[in-house]
Amino acid sequence: MRWTTAKIRQSFLEFFRERGHTIVPSASLVPKGDPTLLFTNAGMVPFKDYFLGIRTPSDRRVADCQKCLRISGKHNDLEAVGRDTYHHTFFEMLGNWSFGDYYKEEAIRWHWELITQVWEIDPRLLWATVHKDDREAEEIWLRMGVLPRERILRFGDKDNFWEMGETGPCGPNSEIDIDRGPAACDGNAHRGVPCAVNVDGCSRFIELANLVFIQYNRDATGALTPLPMKHVDTGTGLERVAAVMQTFETGRLLGNYDIDLFQTIMRRIEDAARSYGLGARYGGSAESDISFRAIADHARTMTFLVAEGINPGNTDREYVLRRIIRRAARHGRYLGIHRPFLAGVNQGVIEAMGDAYPEIREHAQRIAEVITQEETRFGETLDRGLELIDQERARLRQSGGHTLPGEVAFKLYDTYGFPLDLTEDVLRSDGIDVDVAQFNRLMEEQRERARSARRDEAVAPEIQLGPAVASRFVGYHEYEARSEVLALGGEGGSVAVVVAETPFYPEGGGQVGDRGVIEAESGAILEVLDTRKSDGAIIHVGRLLRGERREFERGRRVTLKIDRVRREAAMLNHSATHILHYALRELLGSGVHQAGSLVAPDRLRFDFAHQGPVSAGDLETIEEEINARIRENAEVRTDEMAYDEAIKAGALAFFGDKYGDRVRVVRMGDFSVELCGGTHVARTGDVGFFKLESESGVAAGVRRIEAVTGQGALEAIRRREKILEEMASHLGARDAQALERLEKLLAREKELERKLRALEQKLASGAAGASAEETLREVGGIKLVTRKVEGVEARALREVADRLRQKHRSCVVALGSVLGDDKVALLVAVTPDLTARIKAGDIIKQIAPIIGGSGGGRPDFAQAGGKNPSKLDEALERVAATLG
C-alpha cells in the first residue's frame, strides 16, 4: 500500500518541518499541571498555557502528532465506539501551530497544498467552510481561486467558531471537507435532510482539516476583544485521512477501522478467535463487527494508558482503564473467546504503532502483564455476571418491562465487577434501560457504610476531646511512664483514656498500637488492648481489670506500662520492613515503592508497586540480601529535620502517611534512609533472622510479601520441618527420598490424566463426526445440529459442540448425554454470527425443564443438568420449535 497510516503521519510532519516548524513529540495522555482534565482530549491541550499567556513558547512554529483520548467528561465517545465505523476513544491528531507568527493566509494555503499536492486528493471533491463573519478567511479562499464560490460555505458559531471555555482565547475556524460520494451515507441518520456539509449524521461529507484562528478573548460578560497576538491551531484526524486516502487507493469505501493500522490489530483478534476453534472474522456479520471494532479501539487505549504508568483501579484514570479492559473482555465473549486474549491483541497495537511511539514497545512486557492480570481477574466473574443479565433480560421480556432494577445493576457492580456503563451497554441492543437513580442511591449507601466503618476504626469509643487535649509520645526509649489523665471516655465495657505523656505507640505507619496496662494510684488497673491517635491525642482503649472508671478521671495520676515483649517483637518486624524495602528496590528497580504495610508482633506484611509476580529466584536473592544486612549489624540512627531537607537527603516517604514540617528520619547503615515515626531496633543484627513466607498479588500492579523475623522465623522453620516429616511418613519414604517419591506419584497422575483426556477427545471426535449428516437440518433458514451422545461428560460434550460449530461455520448445536440412571446433561451452542438473533441461554431455559432440570448461560453457549434421561429425545426435538 502506497499511503500507509505511518507514511501519512510522517508526510504531514515533514511537510511542516520544511516550512520552518519544530517537530515536537506527542505529549502525555495525562495532562501535566491541569487538574480539570483526566486525559489529553485534543491536540491543543499541551499548548493551552501558550494561548492563555501563562507560558512563552520557545518555538513560534510547531507541528506534532498528538495522542488523544476521549472517554470522560464532555468529550466521551465510549458508548458510540464499535457501533459505527468512525468513533474512537484513542485517536491521533495531526496539528500545526503558530504562536503569534503566521496567520490565516499561510494556514489555509499550506493545508490546501498538503491535501491536494502531497496527498493528491482531487480538488473537485473538496469544500471549504468559514465563519459567517470572517470575511478575511473567505477572501483568502476566493483569492486563491482553487474552489468555486458555491463550494465555500458560511456557517455560524455552532459549526465554525472555537472556544477554549466560557471565557478566554477563542476565534473563528475554517474547515476543509471532502465529499466521499452518495454511497458513504445511507441517510438514515438525517431523514428528510439532503446530504450536505455540516448536516448532523451525514457521513458523506466529512472534515479533513480544521484550521482555528485564535484572535479574540471572551470576557465574563460574553464580549469579544481582539488579542494582541494572534495564533493558529489546526487539527487533522490521522485515522480519518487514512480512511479517505486508502479508499481511493483500494477502490473500496473504507471506514476508519478498515485502514492498514487497524487491520494489523484485527488480525490478532481473528487469531484469538481461531485459536478457540471459531471462524469469527472482521466483516463476517454486522453484530460481530461491533465487537471487533470495540476490541481494536480499546486495545489501543489500554496499551497507551498502561505504557504511561496507569494501573487498573477504582478511581479516576485507573477506573477508566479498568472499564476499558473489562469492556473489551466482554466483547471477546461475544466473539466466543472465553480466555484471556487481550495481551495478544496488544501485540498487534505494538506492531502497528511501536515505531511511531517507542514507549509502547519499551514497556511491552509490563503492558501485557497488567492487561492479562485485570482480564483474568474479571474473567472469573464475567460469565456469571452475563448469566445474571440473561436471567433478568428474560424476566423483563416475560413481564413486558423495559428497565433493569438499580439493585440488580448494583449487584453486578458489587459482586461481579461490572461497571454501570458496561451493564447499560450489554442491555442497550434489547432496548432495556437501567434504573440509574436507584443504582446511585445504593452506591451512596455503600460509600456511607464504608465511611462509617472507617470512622469506627479510626476513633476510640465515645470520648470528648477539647481543642487543647494533646499527648506527647515518650516511648522511643521508655517503656514505662508516670502521667496525668487529660480525658476519660468509653461506652459499655470499653474504657478510653488520654494522658499528657505516654510510652504507648499509637497505630500508625503500618505498626500496630501498643498494649499493656495503666495503673491508678488507688490500685485500679486498666488493660490497654489498643492504642490509637486522634489529631494530637493518643487514646488508650481497653477494659478494667480492677477498680472503677472514676479512678481514671481527668486530673488523676497514673502509671503506664507497655507490653515490652510485644513491642520489641513489633520493632524487629518494623526494622525488617525497611530492610525489605531496600532489598526490593535494589533488585527490582527504583520503580518499586511501598503501597501499604502491617507491622505486628508476630508477622509483617509489605505491599509494593510492581508488575507481575516476583520470581522464586528473585525472592531467594531478596531473602539472602536481607539476612546479609541483618548480619552486617549496621547501626540504626534517627534524626529530626525539616521535611524538605530529608527529601533532598534521599529519604523515602511512605504510602498513605502525612508529614509535617519536621520529620523523623530513620537510617540503617549506608543503605536505607526513610521517613518513619515508628519504633526500631538499635542495630540491624537485633532482627536476628528474616524468613519470607509468601509473595502474592493483591491488586493490579500491587504485590504483597509476608514474612516473619526473630523467634517467629524460628517457629516458622520448625513448622515446615514438621510438615515435611509428616509428608515423608505418608509417602513411606525417608526425608531425602520424599521428593523423588512425590515426583513419581505426580508423574503417574499426569500420565493418567493425559490418557483420560485423550479418551475424552477421541470420544468427542467420534461423536462429532459419526452420522453428523443425519442430525443436520434447516429450521427457518438456520442450520440446526442435534445429537444424543451417550456417556459423555460436560467437558467432552463442549468439545463436541466446538467441533460441530467449526465444521458447520454458521449453526445452532444442541447436544444431550445420559450420564446415569438419573443424570442427564444438555448443551446448546450458537456460532457468533447468529447470537444477535438466537441466544443459547434462552433455548436452554426452555428445554431444561423437560428433563427435570434447569440451566443457563451466555448467548453463544449454555448448558443444563437434569434427572430424567427418558425425556432427553423430547428436549432435543423441542430445540427446533424454539427456532421457529
CA distance 743 to 745: 5
Indicate the burial class of 762 (C-beta count within 10 angstroms; 0-12, 13-18, 19 or more): exposed
The string of pLDDT tens digits covering residues 659-669 is 666 889 999 99
- Sheet containing 812-820: which strands, arranged edge to edge? 776-779, 782-788, 812-820, 823-830, 861-866, 854-857
Task: Name the residue with cell 458496561.
Answer: 422
CATH code of the region 5-252: 3.30.930.10
> What predicted TM-score, i.e. pTM, was given to this entire model?
0.56
What's the pLDDT tens digit per position in 131-174? 999 999 999 999 999 999 999 999 999 999 998 777 788 999 99
Backbone dihedral angles phi then psi of residue 613, each to the nearest 5 degrees: -60, 150
Positions in the chain short of pLDDT 50: 454-460, 655-656, 770-774
pLDDT at position 311, please?
A: 86
What would the grid cell of residue 580 be?
525489605
From CA 207, how far away is CA 290, in angstroms rounded?
A: 24
Question: CA 349, CA 363: separation in Å to the nearest integer?
Answer: 13
Return d(Cα 202, Cα 196) in angstroms, integer. 7
Q: Which CATH architecture has domain 773-883?
A: Roll (3.10)
Three cell numbers, residue 407: 439493585
Backbone torsion region of residue 10, taken as left when φ is above 0, otherwise alpha when ψ lies between -120 and 50, otherwise beta: alpha
Nearest residue to 600 via CA among 669, 679, 534, 662: 679
Phi and psi torsions of 752, nearest 5°: -65, -40
Q: What is the CATH number of domain 567-720?
A: 3.30.980.10
Residue 653: predicted pLDDT? 67
Same fold across 472-562 and 567-720: no
Exposed (0-12), middle (13-18) or buried (19+): which is 265, by Cβ within 10 Å?
A: buried
Please report, for the chain, the start and end positions of each structural domain, with discontinuous segments joined by +: 5-252, 259-392, 402-454, 472-562, 567-720, 773-883
Query: 294 and 328 in contact (C-beta within 8 Å)?
Result: yes
Tell me the torsion sign for CA atoms 84, 86, 87, 88. Answer: positive
Quote the pLDDT of residue 277. Answer: 66
User: What's phi and psi for 449, nearest 5 deg?
Assistant: -60, -40
CB-based contact 127:177 (threshold 8 Å): yes
Predicted confidence at residue 208, as pLDDT, reads: 96
User: Strands 168-179 and 161-163: what pairing?
Assistant: antiparallel
Here the cell at position 113 is 497544498
Residues 472-562, CATH architecture: Beta Barrel (2.40)
